[in-house]
C-alpha cells in the first residue's frame, strides 16, 4: 500500500517553455503532498508543502511564480516549472502522507527534468 | 533548527560483510527518525522509522537501526550485505503531526558492494 506515482519520469524541454509534473497517491488520500528537488550527489531540498484545497507553502528561497503548485484533489498534486531555464534542470521528487499522526512520507519515483 | 549529518559520503563493503551507516541529528524535541534508500534515478523507499519505544528498530530488507539519545545518533546496520543493497542511503529527522511535516535529510551515503 501507500503508492505514490509521479509522471513523467523524465522530460526534456526547451528553455522558456513550461513543464508540468504530476504526483498521485494511488491507494490512499493525501491531504498533504511535498515537493523536493535533488541536485546531483546532493540531498533532498524541500521546495514546498502542498495542502489540498489551499495555497502551497513554499520554503525560503523558492520562487512561487517559478514553481507553481496545485493540489486540486486528495490524490493529485502538480508542479509546473514555468519559463524553464537550464538551471532548473534537476531531479524533482514528490511525496505524500496518509493523514494520521506519525505516518511516514511515501515518495514517488521522481522526474528528471532537462532544460536545453 | 533541525539538522542531520551523515559523515560518510561513500562506503564500500564486500558482499556478506556487515554494514553500519552513521547518522547524527540535531533536533529540539523528541525526534522522529527515518532511513530511506534511493536507487539510481528512483525515488526514495522507506527502510525504517523510529518514533518512540524500543530504541532498536527493525526495517525491511534485513536492516535495523538503533536510536541513541545520548549520542544523538541513529545508525543503520545490516549483518550481511547483498549486492542488491548498493544504493544511496538517506537519514532524515523531523516531526509528522497531522498535516504538518518537515523532514530534514542528510546528504546521503553511497554504498558500493563488491563481490
Residue A102: band (very low, low, confident or very high) from pLDDT cuts 50, 70, 90 = low
Q: Enumerate the residues of chain A whose CB falls inside 8 A of the CB of residue B105.
A: 43-44
Listed as ranges, residues in chain B with pLDDT below 70 are: 95-101
What ranges make up the beta strands (E) of chain B? 3-5, 10-14, 19-21, 24-26, 32-38, 44-50, 56-58, 64-68, 73-78, 87-97, 100-105, 109-114
d(C-alpha A88, C-alpha A94), whole Å: 16
d(C-alpha A105, C-alpha B101), whole Å: 9
- Confirm or reject contact between A107 and chain B (CB < 8 A): yes
- Find the helix or strand (DSSP H, E) in which B52 lies: none
Q: Nearest residue on chain B to A100, judged by CA atoms? A: B98
Closest by alpha carbon to B85, among B107, B106, B67, B110? B110
> How far away is chain A from the Cα of B71, in angstroms, using its nearest Cα?
23
Cβ separation A32–B101 shorter than 8 A: yes
d(C-alpha B92, C-alpha A54), whole Å: 27
pLDDT tens-digit map of A65-89:
999 999 888 899 999 999 999 999 9
pLDDT tens-digit map of B16-39:
999 999 999 998 777 889 999 998
d(C-alpha B24, C-alpha B3), whole Å: 8
Asked whether the beta carbons of A84 and A15 are under 8 A apart, the reply is: yes
Amino acid at each position: 500500500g501507500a503508492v505514490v506515482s509521479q509522471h513523467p519520469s523524465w522530460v526534456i524541454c526547451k528553455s522558456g517553455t513550461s513543464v508540468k509534473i504530476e504526483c498521485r497517491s494511488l491507494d490512499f488520500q493525501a491531504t498533504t503532498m511535498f515537493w523536493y528537488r535533488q541536485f546531483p550527489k546532493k540531498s533532498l531540498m524541500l521546495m514546498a508543502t502542498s495542502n489540498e484545497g489551499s495555497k502551497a507553502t513554499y520554503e525560503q528561497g523558492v520562487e512561487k511564480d517559478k514553481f507553481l503548485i496545485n493540489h486540486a484533489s486528495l490524490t493529485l498534486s502538480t508542479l509546473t516549472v514555468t519559463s524553464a531555464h537550464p538551471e532548473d534542470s534537476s531531479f524533482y521528487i514528490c511525496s505524500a502522507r496518509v493523514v494520521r499522526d506519525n505516518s511516514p512520507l511515501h515518495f514517488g519515483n521522481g522526474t528528471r527534468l532537462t532544460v536545453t | 533548527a533541525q539538522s542531520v549529518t551523515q559523515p560518510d559520503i561513500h562506503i564500500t563493503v564486500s558482499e556478506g560483510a556487515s554494514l553500519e551507516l552513521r547518522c547524527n541529528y540535531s533536533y529540539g524535541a523528541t525526534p522522529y527518525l527515518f532511513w530511506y534508500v534511493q536507487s539510481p534515478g528512483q525515488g526514495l523507499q522507506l527502510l525504517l522509522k523510529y518514533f518512540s519505544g524500543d530504541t532498536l528498530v527493525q526495517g525491511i530488507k534485513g536492516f535495523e537501526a538503533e536510536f541513541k539519545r545520548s549520542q544523538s545518533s541513529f545508525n543503520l546496520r545490516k549483518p550481511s550485505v547483498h549486492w542488491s543493497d548498493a544504493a544511496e542511503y538517506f537519514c532524515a529527522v523531523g516531526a509528522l503531526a497531522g498535516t504538518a511535516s518537515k523532514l530534514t535529510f542528510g546528504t546521503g551515503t553511497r554504498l558500493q558492494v563488491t563481490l
